[in-house]
Amino acid sequence: MAFAPAILIGRLVRVAARLRKRGGGSAVPGLVVNRLAPRFLSATLAGFPQGLVIVSGSSGKSTTTKMLVAVLEAHGLRVFTNPSTANISQGLTSALLERVDLRGRILADIAVLEMDEGHGALIAPQLAPRVVVLTNVMTDQIDRFHDSEKVAGMLGTIASRATGSLVINADDAMLLELAAHRAPGTVIAPYGVSQGVLAANPRGLGYAQTAATRLAQRDGTVVTEVDGRSARLSIAGGEHPITLPARGTHYAVDAAAALAGARAVLGADFDAERATTSISAVAPVFGRGEIVTVRDQQVEFVLVQNPASYQLNVDSLEKGLDQLFFAMGSDVRDPSYFWPVDSSSLGRVAVVSGSKADELALQLRYRGVEVGAVDHDLAHAIDTFLALPAPRTGIKTVIFTADSMRRTRAHLGLV
């Protein structure tokens, strides 16, 4: 009961925050509780009977976490997890406040938590995760992380806390280096893609350093084929088809990470057929290839967060789309960050918007992309776009960075 006062105060703060702003209150209660009871987060996360699983990396954390949760639940486990928007320390604490009782306990067998690389590294010394799943190291958030080596160092701090298994992307050379310096007794559970899958992605998979060799199918979980939203994976030597939540090899890699993580957790109880069936039913994490009905028309939302995800998602879009909307918001402090991306395959973007609309339009035009209109007012711009005639090819597609995603969803009532 030592945490009861802090829990009660945190819940009061959450109510006040939500009354002040609809959909708000996700981080502030956690910030308050972390100040009042610094040990609350680590003590609560140590209380799950089957331990803690941490998912971290530059990209793919949210989708991998959602898939892993689905697989574990399909095997009968009660799983506590956090929303993708609550992957920093105060957000994690706020997520715990939603479920914890006054004794600091949550009715669940296991916790599977997505963690931001930076915040995860800060709190990792307080934690003893049973399994750590690492997705990749990419050039990401240069205003925070500066270079890929810094990201790798943070992930190394998280990885060093694994008490059971370290699940790593065997196609990422930086993660392989981390694995070489793992804690004694930690089991390595690798996943990756086949040589054929890598060859089908001539730009690579976005990693800061790609490993020189591919993982043998007998040695881990391997993506052997990708076609749009369909893929095949080799699991323990058996081939299994899956349906992906969105197009692209990067989503198949997320599936492989989730399956490898589930195998590490479940051991002999892992059922490949049950696992792949559950992953095939997973809906996209919001904004990640999500298809929603807005104003009586289907619209696909595509989130780009760093140059690698921008390139991978642009390359994965259906070819010949003629109704595209692109918004870049204030989360992109330096738009030159995205200049290395080859966006020429977009062909034409009907409307460009967001606080960095002018810089985005310039980059697109430099790559030979026709820009129909530039509208700095995001709400007006998305309304204009949705009022356009139905596309000749595919469905209307909205590409945005994180800030514009939040604002667009709020304006459309999708919070």
Q: Answer whether 189's CB lies under 8 Å from 155's CB.
A: no
Looking at the structure, tell me whether residues 167 and 314 fall in a common domain: no
Strand partners, 300: 291, 397
- Return the pLDDT at 4: 81
Phi, psi of 319, rounded to the nearest 5 degrees? -75, 145
Number of CB atoms found within 10 A of residue 227's CB: 11
Let me know: does 297 contact 396? Beta carbons within 8 Å. yes
Please state, in angstroms and rounded to a whole number, the distance separating the CA atoms of residues 167 and 282.
Answer: 21
3-state secondary structure (DSSP) of residue 160:
coil
Are 303 and 339 members of one domain?
A: yes
> What is the distance between the alpha carbons of residues 252 and 232, in angstroms, rounded to a whole number?
8
Residues 348 and 201 occupy one common structural domain:
no
User: Residue 251: which of 227, 217, 275 has the closest Cα?
Assistant: 227
According to DSSP, the β-strands at 221-227 and 187-193 are: parallel
DSSP-H helix ranges across 47-206 = 61-74, 89-97, 117-123, 142-145, 148-159, 173-180, 195-199
Is residue 145 within 8 Å of residue 167, measured between CB atoms? no
**Strand locations in 295-395 (E):** 297-303, 324-327, 348-353, 370-375
Residues 237 and 300 both lie in one domain? no
Report the CATH number that the domain containing residue 310 is assigned in CATH.
3.90.190.20
Report pTM.
Answer: 0.87
The pLDDT of residue 144: 60
Helix (H) or strand (E) holding 241: strand 238-243
Domain boundary among 280, 311, 331: 280
* CA atoms of 197 and 280, how far apart (whole Å): 20
Q: Which residues of the chain are under the pLDDT cut of 50?
A: none
**Same domain flag for 292 and 273:** no
Nearest to 135 by CA among 224, 61, 28: 61
Provide the 10 A C-beta neighbour count for residue 39.
Answer: 14
pLDDT at position 1, please? 61
Specify whether 230 is located in the same domain as 375.
no
Verify that 353 and 243 share a domain, yes or no. Answer: no
My answer on whether 231 and 294 are in the same domain is no
Domain count, the chain: 2
Determine the pLDDT at residue 127.
92
Residue 119, pLDDT score: 85
* One domain for residues 299 and 276: no
User: Which of 280, 299, 325 is the last residue before a domain boundary?
Assistant: 280
pLDDT, position 106: 86
Does 52 share its domain with 133? yes
Helix, strand, coil percent content, the chain, rounded in steps of 5: 40, 20, 40
Q: Is the dihedral of CA 354, 356, 359, 360 positive or negative?
A: negative
Residue 341, amino acid: V
- Within this chain, do residues 28 and 155 fall inside the same structural domain, yes or no? yes
Residue 274 lies in domain: 4-280
C-beta neighbour count of 269 within 10 angstroms: 11
Number of residues that this document lists for the chain: 415
Contact 289, 245 (CB under 8 A): yes
From 243, 264, 280, give the residue that closes a domain: 280
| Total Cβ atoms within 10 A of residue 155 | 28
Of the candidates 333, 309, 304, the residue with the CA atom closest to the CA atom of residue 143: 333
pLDDT at 90: 76
Q: Is the distance from CB of 239 to CB of 233 less than 8 angstroms?
A: yes
326 shares its domain with 391? yes
What is the structure's pLDDT at 328?
95
- Given this model, what pLDDT does residue 357 score? 96
The domain spanning residue 138 has which CATH number? 3.40.1190.10
Which tokens is 193 given? 């893609």
Hey, what are 51's tokens? 């331990």
